[in-house]
Each structure stands twice: as structure tokens, then as C-alpha cells.
Chain A
Amino acid sequence: MDFGLSESQEMLRKIARDFFADKLPKTLVKEVTGTEKGYPADLWKDMAELGWMGLILPEEYGGSEANFADLGILIEEMGRACMPGPFFSTVVLGAPLVLDAGNAAQKKSILPRVARGEIILTVAFAEAQALYDTASYQAEAVKAGDAYVINGTKLFVPDAHVADYIICAAKTGRRATLFLVDARAPGVKSKLLPSLGAERQCEVTFGDVRVSKANILGGLNKAGTYIEKMINQAAAAKCAEMVGGAGQVMEMSVTYAKERVQFGRAIGSQQSIQHHLANMLNDLDECRSVTSRAIWMISEGLPCAREVSVAKCVVNEACRRVAWLGHQIHGAIAFQQDHDMHLYFKQAKVGEVAFGDNGYHGEVIARELGL
């Protein structure tokens, strides 16, 4: 076994950490959170230039063919920096789906533009009545000649308000099919939901949206398998993001415990604070190692439904605890909005319910146990 990073991974981590330290101060995170768009456009360009959009894409599409574990490292750094923007929806959700399910023409049309940072993708799957069970979706695509006409409403669609393409899972008979939809096509409407953190989530309504048959992704009635795989990978990547955030909470808390003086001594000399920090470290280390394992398995192409679900269950609970304790150690100062801590508190909660909460992943584990 090897819990360590390779040299190139260490380097990626360092580049990413320095990049965010330089380009994304928390003041900027808070500033863009207040804007409609929700992220800094310059940052997006810079990241594309670093080759991050195409990190795991094949060279023929302008990517650098790194593996999923490398992407995990990058995403952990993004979590640590509390990076807002459509990276996750484009690079973790959309692009792999196109790579996986798309035909040659679709891949050629979409992926190089992703790698160059020219387009933003997202995936619209969850609905009010069914989050992940594609067979129960109500949004429907009805055949009309050479095209399909989509009607329905999708919820919690990340970054749809800035997306160029929305991959929509819509019912075609008893099963669902993936459609590559131009986000600006007539009838597509994205509306921001009043969400919790720096992330952007939308309600997307499809009203008589005509999509050519050529824009079916992965074949008719095939959405189920692809969405399942996407959620599995996204859950693992979300864990990496949350671990990144929790790591930052840990660091901030240790630093503050050393600096903050009350009763003539650093609060970190109080054993109640020391125990909080020790508990946080236990949580963090458990999260990090269980997440690394899950991500490594994806990277190696091994079956890992159970390992990913175990990771998500553990990380969901632990990162929430870490965020609470981070606040507890900081006292009133971090209850102020101008402090950074609450960004992580919110990030942990948003991450927890994204791509499966413990109800969902607990069920996966139970199934895997043969229950």
C-alpha cells in the first residue's frame, strides 16, 4: 500500500495551492458570491491556460490525459480555496459524460472547447419527485420526426445559468435518455435557486424544447447507467472538495487557537479546545484516507460503488462536525459575515446533500452488503 502522492501529484498540488493563494483571496470569493454570475471570469481563463479544464481529457481533444486521482488533488485544492464557479459541473459532470457516452462527432465538437475553457457544461437530472432514480423522471422527450421535444422541470442543476450546454436526462418511454441541449435554445429557462453557499444551483425548465436526434448522448434509453456512474464519480470528487475545505478549517482553527488570548493565555492551551482540535484531526484524517481510496479506485477503473458510498457517508458527517467545531473555536468573530469560516460551514452542508446524502449512500452500502 502507498498512501502518498507521486512527484507530479505533489507538484500539481503546489501549483494549485499557490495559484489560489495568489488569485483567489476570500474577499474575492465573497464579492463574486453576491453577483448573479457567481464566479470571476478571469480566474476561469487562467485555469484553462493551466490546462485544468482538460486535465483528464485525452490528448486528441486537447487534454493532458491525467487520471482521476490527479483531478481529485486539484479539486481538493479548490475546496480549500472555496472556489466558486462551474468547474465541477463542466469538468467532473459534463465532460466525462460526453467522453463516456458521446459519439465521435459529439466528442469532437464539445471536448476541445471544454479543454480550451471556451464552454461551460452542466447536467440536469434531479427533479422534485425523484433525485437520482432516472426511471422515475417526469421530464419527457417526445419524438417528433427527426427531433425530440422536451418538456419538464429539473432542480438543483449546478451552474445552468452560465452553461452553454445542458445535458438533460428526460423520459423516453419507460426509461430515460440523455440529450445534449443548447442552453440558449428556445424554451430553455434557467432560474437561480436561493441557495446556501457560494455555489450556484438552478431550476431549469424545458418548454417545448426541440432537440435533434443527433444530440442524443449514449443512445436511446441509456441515461440510467451513465447517470449512475456520473453520480458515483461526482460523489467521490465532492468528498475531495469537502476534505479540502475541512483541511482549511482545521488549519485556521489551529492557528487561531494559538493566537487568540483570553484569561491571559492562548485559548489553545485550554484542554477543551485541544480536544476539539484533536477530534477535528481524527475526522479529517479519516476523511482524507477514505476519500483517497475511493478516488484511487475510480482512477484505476475498479468497481467501487461501495467504497465511494462509504467515503461519502463518512465525509458528509465528519466535515459537518469539523465545520461546527471550527466555529466553536473561533467564537463570535467567525459568526460575522466578513469572516471566512462560514464559507466552509456552508460548503460542508452543500457538499453533504450533493450527489447523495447519507440516506442515499447508506442504501447503496446496504445493497452492497447483500441486504
Chain B
Amino acid sequence: MDFRFTDEEEAFRKEVRAFLEKELPSDWPGVDPDMYHEDAFDHIHEVSMETQKKFAAKGWLGLTWPKKYGGQEQPLWKQMILEQEVTYRGAPGVDAYQFIGGLGDLLLQFGTEEQKEKYLPMMVRGEIKCATGMSEPNAGSDLANLQLRADLQGDYFILNGQKTWQSAAHRAQLAPVYVRTDPEAYKHRGISIVLVDYRTPGITISPLVMMSGLEAFCEVFYDNVKIPKENLLGELNGGWKVMMAALSHERSYGIMLIMNIRRDLDNLVKYCRETVVNGEPLSNDTKVRNKLADMASQLEVARNMGFKMNYLALTGGDVTQTANQIKVLGGVMTQRVAALGMQIMGLYGQLGPVGGNWRQMDPNKDKWTKLGGRTKHLYLSTVCNTIAAGTTEVARNAIAGGLGLPREPKPAPKK
């Protein structure tokens, strides 16, 4: 056992920190790993795309990928440290849909040589933005129920149907889209994945407003959309395997949530030190101190679990169970910090602009807004952290499955 980081790891961490310090405005309030701020607001989107280029120039996009696709062939631990630091600082520009268990990894694992050569270098150069097209109105947790049709006609798949809740779709150019290629086969046996260029004719993307007020996910409609047959990712009707890989990548999202919310806890601590109530700083209040201490403990435990998952991944262990645990933990922890913030701030917690980012602060309206309205935004926004990328209930089912418990009886197949 050894709970230290190596000198090499620490040195890289320092390098990333110094880079972020230099490249981001010193009052950068931080965006979340869900990227909703970047996707909702033009000016943050611009900063995000600029920063993406800067990361590319550093060689930090596709850090672990093969050199022949523009990658750096660096060890995985570097990628992990990069993700942690970027997330803690709330830096934009590392698009999770490409680089953190996103399309890049899927291409490396399942893509054809042509696909890899076409897309990976673009990603490494920071030129595109991606999304992911899984959910449909009737295929949320039950993804195998997806109905978006893709019929192979000559050299093209013809897509008809609908996706929904597609984060970033209105900003992205490219997405792996999960489609039904064999309507006769039972549920998961008739699914394939095609790489869709969102600018293809016949695609209509209509953004949905979230309960937090941000416009950052979309409905995507497909009306006779022609996708070249070479855009098939993996085997025809073999999409379920790819999807399982994608979902297991997505679950590592939990650790990002945990790193990110640490920043909010730190800000809350600062707020309590600086806010005087009844002549005393809030930080002198025993109840407040205890609550913050409790939250800090919980977050340390959560982060340690995150490190354990990374350790398992680095040593070739099975991360499935731990990743699910961390997905649950990450979602719940963000909600707990948000709720604690609201509790400590009392009436002031209600105040702030949509998005809660100081860049939207109106000096006229927001005179009494504290912490840039961040806590209010967080309170609304974290509602989805136990839903998006797989619900807590479904993750718990998987954890229970991992314990070897007997499965629930399945309803009989339709056909």
C-alpha cells in the first residue's frame, strides 16, 4: 500500500495547474463537467472552444492515444490527473463526449482504420465538438427499446425517428447515434451505431430548456437522413456491445462530479468565513462548522473511492462495480453539497441569475446575490445528477447484480 502520489505524478499535476492558471481568467467561476454552461451561453462556448485549442497545442487532447492518430501515447495516469485538475478548476475545453470515455475511446476500440484516421486527428487538434445519441422518449433506462430506424439502402443508412435529451447536440458536429437496424430481432439484438454529422440534411435539432433555465440539451428529429454506410461503428446489429462499453465509460463521470463539487465546498467554506451574521462570522457557528466538516469528510471518502477506481483501471482490474458505486456517490454528493449550500445561505440561496455564473450577473438586479448565485444554480442543476448518464436506481440494480444476487424475472419477449 502507498497512498502518496509519485514525484512524477505531482510534477505533472503542477504543470497542469500552472497551465490552467495562466490560460484561464483569474476570476473564472468554473463550469461543470456536464458542460451545460458552455453549451447554453455563446460567450462561454467561445472560451471553451478557444481553451480546447490551447489544450490541443499542449498535446493534452487524446493524451493516451496512438501517435499515428496524433495522440501522445502517454500513460493513463496522466490522463486521470489531467481530468481531475481540469475538473476541479472548472476549466472548459476538454469535451467529455470525445475524451473522457467518449467517442474517441469508442473509435479506438471499435472503429475501422479509416474512421480512426478520419476522426481522431480532428479531435486531437481540438477542431470539433461531439455529443452522444442514445436516449429516446421511450428508451431512457431501457435503452434496448430504442426505435430510431436506420435502413440500409445501397450505400446509405436512411434514418427516421427521434432522439431526446441530447446534451450539447445544438453545438456539436458529430455524434455516435444508436439506431435500430433490425426491427425483427429482439430488442438489443437489432441495434447498431452510426456516426452522424449533425449538419446532414433532414436532421432537426430543437433545444430544450432545463429546469435550471439553461438551454443545453435537445430533441433531435431524423427525417430520411442519409448516413454513409461506412459510418457504421462496430458491427451491423452489434451495437449493444459498443453501447455497454460506452455506458461503462460514462459511469466514470461520477469521479468528475466529485472533483467538481469539491470546488463548491471550498467556496462555501470561504463564504462562511467571510459572511457575518449577528456580528459573528458564520464559520464560528458550531452547527455550520459541523455540517461543513461532515460534508468535507464525505467528499474525502468519495474522492478516495475515485482514486481506488483509477487504481483498478491502471492495474487492469475490473472497474465495473466500483464505477457504478461512484456514479451513485457522485450524483448524490453533488446534491448534498448543493442542499447544504442552500441551507447555510438561507434566504440568500434563492437569489441569482439563470446559470448562476458571475458572467450573467446584472449589477442592478444582483446586488444581494451571493457566490454569484452559484448555489441556486447548483441546487436546480444537480437534480439531474442522479438521472443523467444512468439513474441511481439502475446503477444500484447493477451493483446488486454484481453481488451475484438473483435477477428479477424478465417479462416475456414480445416476439
Contact = CB atoms under 8 A, between A and B. Distances in A.
B349 interface: yes
A345 B368 contact: no
A196 B140 contact: no
A349 B393 contact: no
Given A263-B411, A270-B393, A331 B346 contact: no
Interface stretch (B91-99, B100-108, B376-384): B376-384
B391 A328 contact: yes
A303 interface: no
Contacts of A334: 211
Nearest to B135: A332
A342 B346 contact: no
Interface residues of B, number: 50
Interface in A310-351: 320, 324, 327-328, 331-332, 334-339, 341-342, 345-346, 349-350
Given A332-B165, A342-B211, A342-B383, 17 more contacts: A128-B368, A193-B365, A195-B350, A196-B350, A263-B142, A264-B410, A272-B396, A327-B387, A328-B392, A332-B388, A336-B208, A336-B209, A338-B208, A338-B209, A345-B380, A349-B350, A357-B343
B58 interface: no
A202 B208 CA distance: 30
A334 B140 CA distance: 13
A155 interface: yes
Nearest to A133: B278
A361 B76 CA distance: 52
A77 interface: no
B189 to A, nearest CB: 15
Nearest to B360: A194
A350 B350 contact: yes
A353 interface: yes
Interface string B361-402: 010111111000100100110011011100111001100000
Interface in B133-173: 135, 138, 140-142, 145, 164-165
Nearest to B219: A336
Given A263-B141, A272-B393, A328-B392, A192 B365 contact: yes
A345 B383 contact: yes
A142 interface: no
A349 B211 contact: no
B354 to A, nearest CB: 8
B324 to A, nearest CB: 14
Given A262-B142, A345-B383, A353 B209 contact: no
Nearest to A196: B350
5 contacts: A155-B347, A195-B351, A272-B396, A324-B383, A354-B347
Contact of A194 (B339, B342, B351): B351
Contact of A273 (B209, B342, B367, B393): B393
Contact of A331 (B364, B367, B391, B396): B391
